[in-house]
Structure 1
Amino acid sequence: MGDILFLSHRIPFPPDRGDKIRSHHVLKALAQLGPVHVGTFYDDARDQQWERQLAQVSATYCLVRRRKPLPIAGLQAIGSGRALSLAAFDDRRLHSYVRQVLARHDVTAIYVFSGQMAQYVPTDFGGRVVADLVDVDSAKFEAYAARGPRSARGWLERREGRLLRREEARICSASALTLLISDAEADLLRSRVAPVSGAIATMGNGIDAFEFDPGGVDPEPRLLEQGSPRIVFTGQMDYAPNIEAAMRAIDRILPMVREALPSATLHVVGRNPPQALTARSGREGVTVWGRVDDIRPWLAGSDIALVPLDIARGVQNKVLEAMSMALPVVLTKGAATGIDAVDGRDFIIRDDDVSIAKAVIDLAQSPDEARRVGNCARDWIVRNASWEAALAGLPSHVGTNARRPLDAA
């Protein structure tokens, strides 16, 4: 096959958050198949410093600083009748780069990572387009709108959900293949965009079980100074579902745990926590640590991972990471979506606050049971969740099957 053009809404380095972990491994796998040209964005100087690594894996690349103010993107979205997500990632420099790559190189496949990037595929491209949507963004915004009050924000969320659903249908009809992270997400998308002419399939996430090995990393010393059991919640903390889950853990679950276990502490670990979270740090056993360079020592120093997500799309990397580190995980049904492990053996699924708190208490009071669940979790990851297995179908996904141009919006 010829060259591949890889379009991603965030630079796939470093692999330190859910979407970047997936895009990182996909890009590395694509680079094993042939020359890859990469068009992508970065958000801040921390990400820009990984440009050298991007250059090493790319035949050519275009790395653009995303600095468009949200109000400007909002005005552009409303003026053009597009979703805000599309306007926010619309950049003339990247459009120009795509045209240049297609004119100068024999590109036979374009891999679109995240729906925001499908707008860069020219209408006259004759090669194969693979759209990796990961999960169904439109459903997420609809869920936000349904949970909140009828307000200006709710109106924007409903609008975003409606327009993204239209965009998802367009992408599915115009791409040769649309990929989702789990069977549940793929079925959901089919139910929302049918009928479409392109194929919809599943490509799951994996994890490097050798990197996330509890025997290969020392616990974070600052965490070991805290009261036990040490309960951890990890994630990108400017992401609304993670914020809601952390607030739920702090305000509703932890107080019940501390009634039975007064020394219990909760640790929120992840970049960009909002003021609503940081304001709770230091109170009633809660510490909000913010961004850390390596999540593994924090998992190694914890006793229980808690993932009480109300709105969950796709496979949660935070769950896979905790399981790989042999941590017992208490999570909601939504957070377990796409992870074909066994409730009660490999993790503990509970949905209401009282049941979640009781599961945490039971594990803390039964160290042997907590150890058993953690060991089973680690064993399940080693046997079922490697990146090699997850990406085994990638060569055929971007191969020389029937091709379809991406139609104009």
Structure 2
Amino acid sequence: MSAPKPVLLMLLSRHPYAEHSGRALMLRQRIEQARQRFEPRLLVLGHAAGDASDEDMDFLPLANPVALGLNAVRLGKLPLQTWLYYSVGARSRIAALAAEYKAAAVYVDMLRLAPLTEGLPHNLALIVDYDDLLSERYRLAESRGYDVMGFLGRRAGPLAGAARAFAKPILRAEAERCAAYERRMLSRADLALFTSPREALSMQQHGATPVMGAPPMMAPRVAAPAPVGRRLIFLGNLRYAENVTMLRALAESARALAEEGAWPADAIIEAVGDHAPELPAAFDVEHVRFLGRAPDLAALSGEGVFLAPVVSGTGVKLKVLDGMSLGCPVVATPKACEGLTARPNRDLLVAATPRRVLSTALALRDRPALKAMLAQSGRAYLERAHAARIGEEVALAFEAATQRAAAR
């Protein structure tokens, strides 16, 4: 009879099975990676879904208004998003669960949850999954109308409105706070994870803590390359402000091309992803069609050209990998490729601006040989850089961090 696996207490900033987002997908992958060597126990900071997806999970509420006010003082030097999660009660509950489960390690989903791990036993391994460098994201986004609250805007109430009203100074201050906290947590953690290998490499110089690039695993969804269609596809959760910004840039580019007589009569940008009911009314129906969330992305296999007009943010953009996995050529901005090791103009086409992305995609629609070559190269890239072996490497890194902590 084999020995029981050690327990990994996983602190999650969102429901991994009820939310449809790139980060939720990454969390599902991290949970499965952990299962290879550990028994994961999941604790979500947020609301339960109220259905079967809540099974085997614990939930803690976000900070209440009183705690938020206190956090502005006691966490004043930490990133704003940490204020939304921290409370003495939540921190005490986490410590109690770690003791109850006899946890060997604690996994932290992004820096916003890190203050909740203060005071845990020194021989309990701390694994911090940064996702990406928020300091860099905020620094780059200061002049681009970035939504400082991100997906938390729906959960933060009046605080979200205040944050948006003073976006520029908040972004500037947040970049500084995040940079300081990123370095501080690197000195505390036993293992740091980044979805982008490039960002992992940039952080390895800041301390002795092992830093690992652990990008999303993504397998091709199509058995073999097939002829690629002519559709123009934008995939993304349109309840997320960055995706709405990208779609607006594409719509404005389509309108400008139409005014110049360069927009084909049969062309339309198809937006695939969950969205607010009122959003389609803000777009020109002649150029953008909203399809809603696709229950099965496989229905898009080989259907056309995927558009990734990313202009801000950091980390890995899943819309690029999704297009490749579906056997579709991808046209992206340089920003969309920053977190990837894909080869520009070999594994995907790269264009400088959203308008160039759109015009390049329009030209690509009628080049079947080039579409097929890009689809095949994208598939090979996934098999090379986003294969299942990543999961094995992450599980081994979790185990090594736990062993180092136990020996302290």
TM-score of the aligned structures, taking structure 2 as reference length: 0.81
Q: Does the 8 Å contact 1:11/1:20 carry over to 2?
A: yes
Residue deviations 1:112-165 (CA, integer Å, cap 9, x gap) = 121112122132422211111010012212222233599622122222222222
Matches within 5 A, 1:7-406: 7-14=11-18, 16-42=20-46, 45=49, 49-52=52-55, 55=56, 61-64=57-60, 66=62, 75=69, 77-80=71-74, 81=76, 82-91=78-87, 94-126=90-122, 127-148=124-145, 152-189=166-203, 195-209=206-220, 212-213=221-222, 229-253=230-254, 255-256=256-257, 259-273=262-276, 275=278, 277-281=279-283, 283-297=285-299, 299-300=300-301, 302-399=303-400, 400-403=402-405
Compared with structure 1, are the counterparts of its residues 240 and 357 closer, same or farther at alpha carbon in structure 2 (3 Å cutoff)?
A: same
Which stretches in structure 1 are left out of the alignment for 5+ residues?
Answer: 56-60, 220-227
CA–CA separation in structure 2 for the residues paired with 1:111 and 1:201: 14
Aligned length: 379
Q: Deviations over 1:288-337 (max 9, x none)?
A: 3343433332x337411000000131111111111011111000111112
Once the two structures are TM-superposed, the CA of residue 356 in structure 1 deviates from its matched residue by 2.1
Give the SS at the match of 1:178: strand
What TM-score do you get using the length of structure 1 for normalisation?
Answer: 0.81
Distance 1:397 1:63 in 2: 23
User: Which amino acid is 1:97 matched to?
Assistant: R
What secondary structure is seen at the aligned counterpart in 1 of 2:104?
A: strand
Q: Is the 8 A contact 2:249 2:355 kept in 1?
A: no
CA distance in 2: counterparts of 1:348 and 1:402, whole angstroms:
44
Q: Which amino acid letter does the alignment assign opposite residue 180 of structure 2?
A: R
Structure 2 distance, partners of 1:362, 1:73, is 55
Give structure 2 stretches of 5+ with no counterpart: 147-163
339-348 or 301-310, larger mean C-alpha shift: 339-348
Per-residue CA distance 1:171-230 (angstroms, 9 max, x = gap): 11111221111232124445xxx6445333312211143xx22779xx9xxxxxxxx842
* Partner amino acid, structure 2, of 1:247: R
- The letter for the 2-side match of 1:318 is K
Asked if the contact 1:269/1:290 (under 8 Å) is kept, the reply is yes
- For residues 165 and 130 of structure 2, the distance between their equivalents in structure 1, rounded to whole angstroms, comes to 28
Give the CA deviation at 1:28.
Answer: 1.5
Tell which deviates more after alignment, 359-368 or 141-150: 141-150
- Counterpart AA for 2:323: A
Compared with structure 1, are the counterparts of its residues 353 and 230 closer, same or farther at alpha carbon in structure 2 (3 Å cutoff)? same
Cα displacement (A) at 1:368: 2.7
- How much does 1:93 deviate? 5.4
| Residue type at the aligned position of 2:132 | D
Q: Secondary structure of the residue that 2:58 maps to in structure 1?
A: strand
Aligned residues with identical type, % of pairs: 20
Aligned to 1:223: none
Q: Distance in 2 between matches of 1:364 and 1:12?
A: 36
1:281 CA drift (Å): 4.0
**Are the structure 2 counterparts of residues 43 and 231 from structure 1 closer, same or farther at C-alpha, using a change threshold of 3 Å?**
farther
Check conservation: 1:6, 1:39, Cα contact below 8 A. Answer: yes
Change (3 A) 1:246 1:354: closer
The secondary structure found in structure 2 opposite 1:50 is helix
Superposed CA offset, 1:345-373 (max 9, x none): 32101113453233212211212321221
Bigger CA drift: 142-151 or 177-186?
A: 142-151
CA–CA distance in 2 between the matches of 1:15 and 1:68?
22
Q: Is the 8 A contact 1:141 1:157 kept in 2?
A: yes
